[in-house]
Amino acid sequence: MRLWLSKSSEVPVRTQLEAQIILGILSNDLKADERLPSTRELARRYKIHSNTVSAAYRQLATKGWVDYRKGSGVYVRERSSGQSHDGNSPLDRLISFFLNIGLDKGHTLREMQLRLRHWLSLPPPDHFLIVEPDAELRRIVVHEVEEATGARAVGIGPDECSNTALLSAAAPVAMFGQAELARSALPRDTYLITLRSRSIPESLRGEKMPGDDALIAIVSCWPAFLSWARTMLVAAGLDPNALSVRDSRQEGWEKGLRSMSIVISDSLTASHLPRGCASKVFSVVSDSSIVELRAYMDEFFK
């Protein structure tokens, strides 16, 4: 069982431990009759006090999630598929669990009811809103999100996040490195989807190194892409003199590209390359993030 425990969080470690075990049971990661690690083992593994683990296990037993078996340990309790003390379905149990967490933190049922009503009253999104300070990267991410999901995407800078008209029916998205900036610019209660960048190994998987006599063009509207691609190719042993770096925002960037052995470009610039170019396209957004966007769209978009 893998746990993530933060000792600096405002949420007590006991509550964190209890929450993750319950979620493990609800998601079936922890099976019925599965033996949980001993109090001493968990305390040693995560460098927490054994009393903290014991308190969490006692709470779980009191609420009916685990059983103590004398001389054997703590086990996940067998639960009826139809009923439980918390409700009639896994969703009922999950809602009950989070309500209990809220009460433990001092919130009243009235406060939680009002906040839930607020969230449930929000209109379902119908497009993605890319929050990114770099204008050229923003254009690329908008293009990739639209191409990969088929949904509409709009790009804005952090300074536009206070515009309520732009936020209406939008699902805000930001690259992982800009997530904190985006969160600080968006209204407090806004849910933000974060995207991971494609790693270099992921981008180069299955690629063969060009020959020594190859002429390579690097073309992009994003200066950081030009710098990254050139650095990567030189580090791989290619002759810098064999590289032609083109900024697609400048006039005449297309000239001579058909004569190149290969043209490396970002996904947005690739759609504007002259016909007949031997091209290799490097995307910015990772495959795993695209999968998450599609799942989010299927679940929440109207």
Q: What is the mean pLDDT of each run of 10 residues along the chain (302 residues)?
A: 73 84 79 93 92 93 90 85 49 74 83 80 89 97 97 97 92 94 90 85 61 86 92 80 94 94 94 92 92 91 80
Q: What is the dihedral of CA 19, 23, 24, 29, to 10 degrees?
A: -170
Query: Which residue is it, tokens 């995560």?
Result: 46
Give the integer Cα–Cα distance in Å for 188 and 238.
48
Give the integer Cα–Cα distance in Å for 295 and 149.
10
Q: Given this model, what pLDDT does residue 112 score?
A: 85
Q: Given this model, what pLDDT does residue 90 score?
A: 64
Asked if residue 61 lies in contact with residue 25, where contact means CB atoms within 8 angstroms, the answer is no
Q: Given this model, what pLDDT does residue 85 score?
A: 44
Maximum CA extent, the chain:
80
Phi, psi values for residue 208, rounded to 5°: -100, 145
Q: Given this model, what pLDDT does residue 204 score?
A: 53
Give the integer Cα–Cα distance in Å for 102 and 117.
15
Which of these, 95, 103, 157, lies nearest to 129 by C-alpha position? 157
47 by DSSP, 3-state: which?
coil
Give the integer Cα–Cα distance in Å for 58 and 37.
14
Long-range contacts of residues 205-208, Cβ cutoff 8 Å, at least 24 apart: 207/280
- DSSP states along 137-206: HHHHHHHHHHHHH-SEEEEE-GGGTT-HHHHTTEEEEEEGGGHHHHHHHS-TT---EEEPBPPHHHHHTT
Q: Given this model, what pLDDT does residue 209 score?
A: 64
